[in-house]
Amino acid sequence: MEACMTPTLRAFPGVFLFLCLACVSPATAQTTFGSITGAVTDQTGSVIPGARVTVINEGNGAERRVETTNAGVFNVPNLNVGAYRVRIEAQGFRGYEQVGLALNANQVISVDAQLTVAPQTSETVQVVGSAPVIDTETATLAYVKTSRDLLQLPLVARSTGDFGIYGFTYMNPGVSKVAGQSNPAVNGMRILDTAPSMDGIAVMAYLDGIGGGPVQPSLEGIEQVNIELAGTQAEFARAANFTVVSKSGGNDLHGGVFYDYDGNKLNARNFFSATVPFRVFHNFATSVGGPIRKNKTFYFVDYEGAREAATAVIAANTPLAPWRAGDFSFGVPKAIVDPAVSQNAQTFFFPLPNFGPAGLQSGNWRGQRPGQTGYTHFDHVDGRMDHNLTNKDLIFGRFSYRRLPVLGQDNNLPPAGHYDEIRGTRSAVLSWTHSFSPTLINEFRTGMTRMRDFTSPGLIGRDILQQIGLQGIGIGTPIHAQPVFNITGITSTGQSDSNNLNLNTNFEWTDNLSVSRGSHFLKFGFDAIRDQLSKLGFPDDVYGTYNFTGSYTGFGYADFLLGIPQTTSQTVPTPQSYLRGTLWSFYAQDQYKLSRKLTLNSGLRWELQGPYFDKFGDIYTFSRQNGSIVVPSAARINPFYPKNIPIVTASQAGIPGTLVNFDKNNFYPRFGFAYKPFANDRTVIRGGYGIYGNMIYGSLAKTMVGGPFAGSQSFTNSLTDGVPLFSFPNPFLSTGATSTQNVLGVNPNLKTPYSQQFNLTVERQVGQIGIRVPSAIPFTTSRRIFPLYNVITWYDNGGSQQYNALQISASKTYGKNLLFNTGWTWAKDLTDTQNNGSSFAGPTIQNAYDRRSERGDNVLTRPHRVYVNAIYNLPAGRDQRFLDHANRIIDTILGGWSMSWVSELMTGQYYTPTYSGFDPSNTNNFGPSTSFVARPDRIGSGELSSGQSIYSFFDASAFKVPGCPDTTPLCANPANIGRFGNSGVNVLRGPKAINFDFSAMKYFRINERMRVQFRTVMTNVFNHANFSNPAANISSPGTVGQITSTFQEQIGEASRQVHFGLRVEF
């Protein structure tokens, strides 16, 4: 009998409608450069070939000269961000000059000029105006945040954490924050499908899927952030891209000094905290840029530092005092089964008092205690130099360094005191642009990013084992790790991490060749990324993991007091892993200006995402053909790995040493058009279609380490006549007993998943279809065809996802005093492969034979989200509408005031009720054999029509353990009914979220070139509590339905924080 094969599912096209009320600055490709294009005609509309076009960077004086083609069009690619002037001249015509063009990163500006006949060709018509506010050349949906936005909007982007600059990306439609991750997810996709970069070089750790992290540029050194969400051309690898452009020097000396302070005196307490935790945060920065040689060589350097001391509050579900003595007469609304006459085991005490109202009968057992003070500081340096080598050669280079040492608080249980962590980053990029001719331009770019993260926790697990008397662990060397106790309904014990050192290094090489031929603007290029991760350390469960789920008494803590775990496991320290991989991509694209009204974009991208390998061959997979473990080489097999498990080499199994074959069929076409029906830049109809590959192989490689190279043991308990197979103080079977193994298998012919997108504007339709999305399938049945294994997890294609949304956004600038942006997203995101944004495959599915039952709303996508942000300068004082000619005293008092705000409103996040402790399905997927939780039977709606509170957020009685009567949802002995629960995935929705941030600024002008800014920033001004989802495990009646924490909303804080800042600009 063949175990559960993954069915191949068809993904049906979804529709994503976007109504563009007023578009924002557009972008086209993942490079820091922009382009200026256009057409030159005479008064009759006839094209003028051979017209001379000069593009001048007004900041550094750099010039680029081209001529219009026989079709009368021109294209000037590879231009740095900045202000430009375009001058057009032709024999027998008046000259044409347009000034004040602000070119953004990855933007295409169209400058169409109509020349008039003049007797004297020296005459010039000058046009003053900014670039078009809508993209008239491509189908890309993109947004730009300038340095003004970064410095004036009330976002706490200056922090010692990992989010920093990427907080600005949430102020756009379709962008979601992923808990615990530094870069966001877009339009329901995983974070692996977004591509953060800085100066055109990727800053994503492909093995972790983490973008940003310690690779955080200083706000002082950022020119702008370009955010592309859909419709990107073949030059792009991913469907969503976040490009940070560093500041460069110019002919004028410019810079600034900054200081920010945040203390706890004016901060508000968290809803669930009794006091405001102690916090002192000092942030300071300086920057300066200017010329080394005018119009030739320029520099920009910045430094930013921070010093922080903060205390967190530890909040945890702890057992009631009577429970510790074995008295379960209060707070446990079901009978406790006595599997045998026994006495209490040694208890594991936690601090009081408890949490909740006095009359709460469902379980008043949540405790708080202050944590220790943690200390964090970082130092960050950026340096950039630009050099106009010749009229044909432009080069620039940047180097960034950041060091972030942390003496942190481990807020888990038991209180572990401090842990040490040191994170550091080095990033560098070098770019060379060479013009072979006005119509043939090449850019070569290379860069490196290196991230280092060392963690050393505070407790040594061997000492803990001796204190609580556990035996048989077998780890004599002191290691900074803790045993992990998982008790259903009680906060788990353990540390945040064990001793680990991660070294992640990316090397990247990119080349782009731009060619102009007639009305065609062609571009060809390649990109290669070498990704390396060296991981040195110990597994988190080196001292064992012990799971108590109530399998024997009906209540997890009662099982714990009896010392009868459901399952136990332990992993022997693994050898260091040295994962390596190379990503290759090639592309060709054409921008064809068919007429002044219509531009066509087409392209093709080919990618080779090579499977990763370990430097010493320490990866493995499982063979479904013969039940063996497959490794590249058997030379480094752990001698303690069970000898009865067959192991073969990759060559014996007929697969490559990477254990996964290369998928060479990754061709991704891109098509788009831009049509100007009225032959001007005020109205445009744009549309496009593209296929985008998904990143999976780096994260997949991380799951393939361990196995026979680590040596692990897993034991499942059982009762025979009331006597457990094993119990405390000996949580593992006796010496000589054979444990079962948890293993992982990957389809050796795994295909690269991809998504499809459609877009159309002014009325925009964008569809995102997940095709061949990888999923994790439990390869375990009650009738075991591979009895040597406990749980076999198999990765294969077959998942699907459909994201549909209506997105409406508007951007408006009123003169120089008001910048206003707002957006609304109404989304429906259905998938049978759930994810939290960070996982490449999602959680293990319940039933591989019934993928339809796995289909539900994506936990990552909220149905509704509205955001508003604005910057407003009061129109009073010098150079303003009112008091323009006021004296210096009046201007100092009443002039120079600005304010900004950011607000956000979201509906709740979906969640799924679960149960644990039993396996009525009799499939061995849950309960005694694994630590997985399962979905219950749904016998009611689960929604509360009234009386919803943080103590009872949903109707838990609407769900029952399968096999229990409807009248007793949590019966002690469920019947083996041979099926799974009938509840769907994500059938309930959590609390909504509201946030409002505000800042006020006062500017004092010192002279024409210098001014001082005083600033106050308040995040979560009204201290609105945005609650997390409630506890949803119905097997924990003391906590189910209760909300015990808040979360940091996408662009705000969990509680109000007040910052004060001083800034000097020149």
pLDDT, tens only, 588-612:
999 998 888 888 999 999 999 878 8
The percent of residues in the chain predicted with pLDDT above 90, rounded, is 24
**819-845: pLDDT as tens digits:** 888 889 999 988 888 776 555 666 778
State pLDDT tens for residues 128-150: 555 556 677 777 777 788 887 87
Residue 737, beta-bridge partner list: none
- What one-letter code names the amino acid at 898? S
Which residue type, as a one-letter code, is found at position 209? G
- The chain-wide mean pLDDT, for the chain, equals 80
CA 834 to chain CA centroid, nearest Å: 16
Beta bridge partners of residue 299, listed in sequence order: 290, 385
Which residue is it, tokens 């209180």? Answer: 415
pLDDT of residue 656: 92
736 CB contacts (<8 Å, ≥6 apart)? none
Residue 115 has pLDDT above 60, yes or no: yes
Task: Please name every residue paired with 502 in a beta bridge, in sequence order, or none if there are none.
Answer: 453, 535
Examine the pLDDT at 1047 and tell me if it is beyond 90: no
Instruction: Report pLDDT for 363.
Output: 40
Give the whole-angstrom CA distance, residue 920 versus residue 917: 10
Q: What are the C-alpha distances in Å from 814 to residues 809, 820, 871?
A: 17, 8, 11
The half-sphere exposure of 427 on its side-chain side, counting CA atoms within 13 A, is 30
Judge contact between 456 and 419, C-beta under 8 A. yes
Q: What is the DSSP letter of 356?
A: S
Dmax (CA) for the chain in angstroms is 112
Asked if 336 and 553 count as a contact pair (C-beta separation under 8 A), the reply is yes
Transcribe 460-504 into DSSP letters.
Answer: -HHHHHHHHT-------S--S---EEEETTSPPB--S--SEEEEE
Q: Residue 771 has what pLDDT? A: 52
Model confidence band, residue 990 (pLDDT cutoffs 50, 70, 90)? very high
> How crowded is residue 445: how many other Cβ atoms within 10 Å of its Cβ?
23
Mean pLDDT along residues 257-279 = 87
Binning pLDDT at 50, 70 and 90, where does residue 545 land?
Answer: confident
Q: What is the predicted pLDDT for the residue at 357?
A: 46
- Which pLDDT band holds residue 917 (cuts at 50, 70, 90)? confident
Distance CA 793, CA 624 (A): 11
Q: Output 6 or 711, whichever has higher pLDDT.
A: 711
Least confidently predicted of 266-270, 433-437, 768-772, 960-964: 768-772
- Beta-carbon contacts of 1004 under 8 Å, excluding residues fewer than 6 positions away, are 892, 896, 1011, 1012, 1013, 1014
Q: What is the pLDDT of residue 347?
A: 38
Burial of 38 (0-12, 13-18, 19+ CB in 10 A): buried
Structure confidence at residue 694 (pLDDT): 83
**For the ranges 129-133, 276-280, 592-596, 748-752, which has the lowest average pLDDT?**
129-133
- Rounded CA gap, 897 and 1004, in Å? 9
Closest CA relative to residue 861, chosen from 100, 176, 38? 176
Q: Are 154 and 167 in contact (CB under 8 A)?
A: no
Helix (H, G, I), strand (E, B) or coil at 701: helix
Angle of CA points 665, 668, 670, to nearest 5°:
160
Averaged pLDDT, 361-368:
44
Task: Give 158-185 pLDDT, tens digit per residue.
Answer: 554 444 566 677 788 888 776 656 667 7
Residues 669-681, mean pLDDT to the nearest whole number: 84
Cα 1055–1059–1061 angle (5° rounding)?
A: 165
Q: Dump pLDDT digits (tens) for 57-84.
A: 988 888 889 999 888 899 999 888 888 9
CA dist 487 and 510 (Å) reads 51
Q: Which residues contact 863 (CB under 8 A, 6 or more apart)?
A: 826, 827, 828, 907, 989
Residue 252 has pLDDT above 50, yes or no: yes
Cα distance from N-terminal residue to C-terminal residue, the chain: 76
What number of other Cβ atoms are within 10 A of residue 643's Cβ? 9
Secondary element (H or E) of residue 39: strand 34-41
Q: What is the pLDDT of residue 797?
A: 82
* 349 vs 750, residue with greater confidence: 750
Helix (H, G, I), strand (E, B) or coil at 578: strand
* CB contact at 8 A, 550 and 559: yes
Q: In this predicted model, which residue has the larger pLDDT, 774 or 267?
A: 267
Say if CB 846 and CB 934 are below 8 A apart.
yes
Rounded to an integer, what distance in angstroms lies between the CA atom of residue 773 and that of residue 441? 39
For residues 241 and 197, give the distance between their C-alpha atoms in angstroms, rounded to a whole number.
Answer: 8
Q: What is the C-alpha separation between 84 and 59, in angstroms, rounded? A: 8
Name the CA radius of gyration of the chain, rounded: 31
CA 512 to chain CA mean position, Å: 28
Band (pLDDT 50/70/90 cuts) for residue 10 is very low
Instruction: Specify whether the CB–CB gap between 197 and 203 falls below 8 A.
Output: yes
765, β-bridge pairs: 17
> Looking at the predicted structure, is the pLDDT value of residue 94 above 80?
yes
Say how many CA atoms lie within 13 Å of 14 toward its Cβ: 26
Q: In percent, how much of the chain has pLDDT > 70?
A: 80
Amino acid in position 187: N
Asked whether 607 and 745 are in contact (CB, 8 A), the reply is no
* Angle in degrees, CA 286, 292, 294, rounded to 5: 120
Asked if 588 and 595 touch (Cβ cutoff 8 Å), the reply is: no
Q: By the 8 A CB rule, do 620 and 709 touch?
A: yes
φ/ψ of 765, rounded to 5, equals -120, 120
- Predicted local distance difference test score (pLDDT) of residue 5: 27
Smallest CA-to-CA distance from 860 within 187, 194, 337, 237 is with 187
Q: Choose among 383, 381, 377: nearest CA to 404.
A: 377
pLDDT 10s digits, 14-64: 333 333 333 333 333 456 788 899 889 988 888 899 999 999 998 888 888
pLDDT band of residue 253 (cuts 50, 70, 90) is: very high
What fold, for 28-127?
Immunoglobulin-like (2.60.40)
Query: Is the bond preceding residue 575 a cis peptide, omega within 30 degrees?
Result: no
Region 344-351 average pLDDT: 37
Q: What is the pLDDT of residue 181?
A: 65
**553-556 LR contacts (CB < 8 Å, sep 24+):** 553/336, 553/337, 553/338, 553/339, 554/334, 554/335, 554/336, 554/337, 554/917, 554/970, 554/972, 555/328, 555/332, 555/334, 555/336, 555/489, 556/487, 556/488, 556/489, 556/490, 556/917, 556/1035, 556/1036
* Burial status of residue 816 (CB atoms within 10 A of its CB: 0-12, 13-18, 19 or more): exposed
Nearest to 164 by CA among 400, 363, 374, 466: 400
- Number of neighbouring beta carbons within 10 Å of residue 1039: 21
pLDDT in tens, 480-530: 777 888 888 777 776 655 677 888 888 999 999 999 888 899 999 999 999
Look at residue 738 and give its three-state secondary structure.
coil
* Between residues 928 and 542, the one the model is more confident about: 542
Phi and psi torsions of 84, nearest 5°: -130, 155
Distance CA 191, CA 206 (A): 10
What per-residue confidence (pLDDT) applies to 370?
55
> How many other CB atoms are there within 10 angstroms of residue 473's CB atom?
16
- Quote the pLDDT of residue 383: 95
- Rounded Cα gap, residues 528 and 508, in angstroms: 6
State the burial class of residue 325 (Cβ atoms within 10 Å of its Cβ: 0-12, 13-18, 19+): exposed
Report whether 541 contacts 713 (CB < 8 A): no
- Please work out, in degrees rounded to the nearest 5, the angle formed at the alpha carbon of residue 1015 by the alpha carbons of 1010 and 1019: 150
